[in-house]
């Protein structure tokens, strides 16, 4: 223990410790800067004409291709939304990830808890309502005007379903003062405007 104290009192040891700390700091800073530049480059390189493949037909009965697998909203405790726009209870989810369209709980493009401004109280209904074919124009306008802050999120979006999943998640537009919802009853929004601010 005494040897360690004596060693730390020597200036050259302190110089080595300081030098190593400085090298660590500089390499960490440069790596962070490289990541930032790479992310900016990815945003700039992205094809401005990249278009999301919109799903016009959702009803399996009218579709010429058979869906063998469905993606779904996964996280719902009791409800799920599949990529065809069906909302169903978790117990009515088929092994392929699609809602059982014959189950009494399954409804397609349901906007049950949604307001006229596109804000809903239940996430799964927000996604289902957003998947309606007539919402395509609204979503295209949103993508064209997406602020730079949203571009990182929406550059990863590949199709209509992924866009609705991302758009319906609560965002900074849903809150005020960073800690309270603007409207706790309708915090999941696919529309262009944020939820209406409810008086306290």
Using one digit for the tens of pLDDT, what is the confidence trace for 71-109?
Answer: 999 887 899 999 999 999 999 999 999 999 999 989 999
Q: Give the model's pLDDT for residue 138.
A: 84
At residue 192, the 3 state secondary structure works out as coil
Q: Give the model's pLDDT for residue 58.
A: 35
Question: Residue 85's closest CA among 101, 62, 69, 64?
Answer: 101
DSSP per residue over 8-57, as a string? HHSHHHHHHHHHHHHHHHHHHHHHHHHHHHHHHHHHHHS-TT--------
Judged against a pLDDT cut of 50, whether residue 157 lies above it is answered with: yes
Provide the residue count of the chain: 200
Q: What is the pLDDT of residues 6-58, one digit of tens each?
A: 766 777 777 888 889 989 888 888 777 776 665 555 445 445 555 555 543 33
pLDDT band for position 129 (50/70/90)?
A: very high
Q: In Å, how far are 25, 35, 185 from 32, measured between CA atoms?
A: 11, 5, 39
Q: Give the model's pLDDT for residue 64.
A: 43
**Residues 58/131, Cβ–Cβ less than 8 Å:** yes
Q: What is the pLDDT of residues 58-73, one digit of tens each?
A: 334 334 445 678 899 9
pLDDT band for position 192 (50/70/90)?
A: confident
pLDDT band for position 127 (50/70/90)?
A: very high
Q: 164-172 long-range CB contacts below 8 Å, 24 or more apart?
A: 164/126, 164/127, 164/130, 164/131, 164/139, 164/190, 165/73, 165/127, 167/130, 167/139, 167/142, 168/120, 168/123, 168/126, 168/127, 168/130, 169/123
Q: Looking at residues 103-128, what average pLDDT do you find?
A: 90
**Residues 109/85, Cβ–Cβ less than 8 Å:** yes
Q: Looking at residues 132-160, what average pLDDT do you find?
A: 73
Judged against a pLDDT cut of 70, whether residue 200 lies above it is answered with: no
Domain positions in the chain are 79-189
Judged against a pLDDT cut of 70, whether residue 133 lies above it is answered with: yes
- Tokens for 69, please give them: 């697998």
- Tokens for 78, please give them: 């009791």
**Residues 182/198, Cβ–Cβ less than 8 Å:** yes
Question: Residue 81's closest CA among 148, 128, 140?
Answer: 128
């Amino acid at each position: 223990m005494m040897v360690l104290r004596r060693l730390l009192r020597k200036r050259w040891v302190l110089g080595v410790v300081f030098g190593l700390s400085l090298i660590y700091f500089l390499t960490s800073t440069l790596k962070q800067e490289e990541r930032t530049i790479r992310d900016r480059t990815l945003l700039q390189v992205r094809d401005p004409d990249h278009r999301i493949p919109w799903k016009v037909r959702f009803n399996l009965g009218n579709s010429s291709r058979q869906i063998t697998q469905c993606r779904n909203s996964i996280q719902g405790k009791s409800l799920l939304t599949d990529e065809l726009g069906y909302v169903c209870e978790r117990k009515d989810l088929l092994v392929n990830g699609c809602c059982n369209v014959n189950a009494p709980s399954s409804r397609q493009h349901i906007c049950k808890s949604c307001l006229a401004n596109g804000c809903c109280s239940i996430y799964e209904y927000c996604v289902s309502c957003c998947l309606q074919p007539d919402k395509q124009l609204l979503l295209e306008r949103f993508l064209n005007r997406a602020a730079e802050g949203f571009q990182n999120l929406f550059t990863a979006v590949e199709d209509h379903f992924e866009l609705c999943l991302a758009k319906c998640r609560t965002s900074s537009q849903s809150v005020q003062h960073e800690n309270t919802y603007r409207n706790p009853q309708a915090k999941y929004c696919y529309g262009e405007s944020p939820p209406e601010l409810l008086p306290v």
